[in-house]
Structure 1
């Protein structure tokens, strides 16, 4: 399901017609970013996304020249300026050293959400030999993104799962991965992945609901020992995996279905609080 119908984007304090956006202007230099899902006009888990943005900047000594409050204001202003209350927002800071130029962009992006039936049937995935240079930083890696997108397209899969030189799975190219064994959920360690906001929420929901969730290294050779698997991410939320290569999983696993329900309820709770005015600028 594709979402995108927007009129304006925010660039350095100015509103520009979205048709004038040119991504090639930011193809060189350093870019750190966040993608935030908007449902019914509410930017989901905005605080967590901005905290992670600040962490990314701190880890690479990147200067964020806008305050937390100014970034938050730009997000809400973008939503007010456009007529699409259900899509994804990308905000990014871009710096090019040789020309000493810096840009802050906040814009709605073309977004693909999984169809409803995939939450029942699950999605196909495959392994992909690649590692992020600094996985804890949400920083543009155009080479990895291009290679992953190519593998996804030619193999007709929803996502590729990165594996390191030790033959351990780490994360999806745009998601995090969890596996289920009995009543236990496992996911690769935080230090080896880009710890997504949805991933953090799922781990917290497990703790609150007394579901055992363990962060540990998972070897490729262990995958067949698991009963179920799922991706987490801003767009897919909690999405069942039907297969990883030739290994099949149960997308109808009871614990997985429970997590999908818990996460959807968390979204509804957040939106309700935001609309009641408890989350203010």
Structure 2
């Protein structure tokens, strides 16, 4: 299943067929990257389809809009939460991916966000494992990209701004062409930041390390992992992580809405740990799976049932 299977897209308050969900060619969102978005997952549970951490995702969408400079969004957070549910229902989707997007359009074709208006679209489609169906069990291979993560004063790293992801596309494309599955990006100081679309954790001894949140996107799946690690008795330390710390880690794993939680078994042609998913990663992955399936004490607060 893919985006070709989408039945309806929510556009500015109406469900329309995909061919009618269009934006003007001269949209400033298309030409200048003036948009903000979210990636959200819907899971099939014993109680039916449920959207994972919907409120938090929509709240971050509004935070991203504020960071970019939008002043007037034509819908409230609660209205867009309901619109997400409406879109999932209209597509008769039990599991998959949801993409809300706020985009700028200006009659003056201007960089000025105050000179146009904000529009909202929401798409939803069945989508399995982002990094491949075997990745959840076998893990993935990664490399440290030649493309750096954004400097915090070059663009706003706390917002999912459309234009920010050009560097991710460059890094990911480079990695795929080199034969890897994913790219790890360093910050301008040379420390590990995040991946092209995921946050990163490494296990060393009894500690789990993750890059400090100052310059990275504070992922909602990342936040989920932090909570689950605490519940499982692990201590997670947020601190600068060097490239060579990755190589000598016992375990490394990625987290993100699309990727979910995936082990990294090789980085830059160096085997990580045993070359297989480690016991810590597996335990956290299993706990995460229980949450999204509605089988965990935290599920009730984090799943929005349709």
**TM-score normalized by structure 2?**
0.82
- List structure 1 runs of 4+ shifted beyond 6 angstroms: 270-276
Deviations 1:120-143 (A, max 9, x none): 221011111322332111111253
Superposed displacement of residue 152, structure 1:
3.0
Superposition map of 1:70-219 within 5 A:
70-97=79-106, 98-99=108-109, 100-109=116-125, 111=127, 113=129, 114-128=131-145, 129-132=147-150, 133-141=155-163, 142-219=165-242
SS at match of 1:150: helix
Corresponding residue number in structure 1 for 2:74: 65
CA RMSD of aligned residues (A): 2.6
Distance in 1, matches of 2:103 and 2:295, equals 30
Deviations 1:133-192 (A, max 9, x none): 321111112532431232133123221111122211100111111111012111101111
Bigger proportion of residues as strand: 1
Distance in 2, matches of 1:191 and 1:255, equals 26
Unmatched segments (≥5 aa) in structure 1? none
**TM-score normalized by structure 1?**
0.89
Tell me, yes or no, if the aligned pair for 1:45 and 1:270 is still in contact at 8 Å.
no
Distance in 2, matches of 1:241 and 1:87, equals 23
Distance in 2, matches of 1:35 and 1:222, equals 29
SS at match of 1:194: coil
Tell me, yes or no, if the aligned pair for 1:42 and 1:274 is still in contact at 8 Å.
no
Distance verdict in 2 for CA 1:77–1:270, change over 3 Å: farther
After TM superposition, the structure 1 stretch with the greater mean CA deviation from structure 2, 176-185 or 111-120, is 111-120
Tell me, yes or no, if the aligned pair for 2:42 and 2:51 is still in contact at 8 Å.
yes
SS at match of 2:122: strand
Corresponding residue number in structure 1 for 2:255: 232
- The number of residues matched between the two structures is 279
Corresponding residue number in structure 1 for 2:56: 48
Tell me, yes or no, if the aligned pair for 2:68 and 2:161 is still in contact at 8 Å.
no
SS at match of 2:162: coil
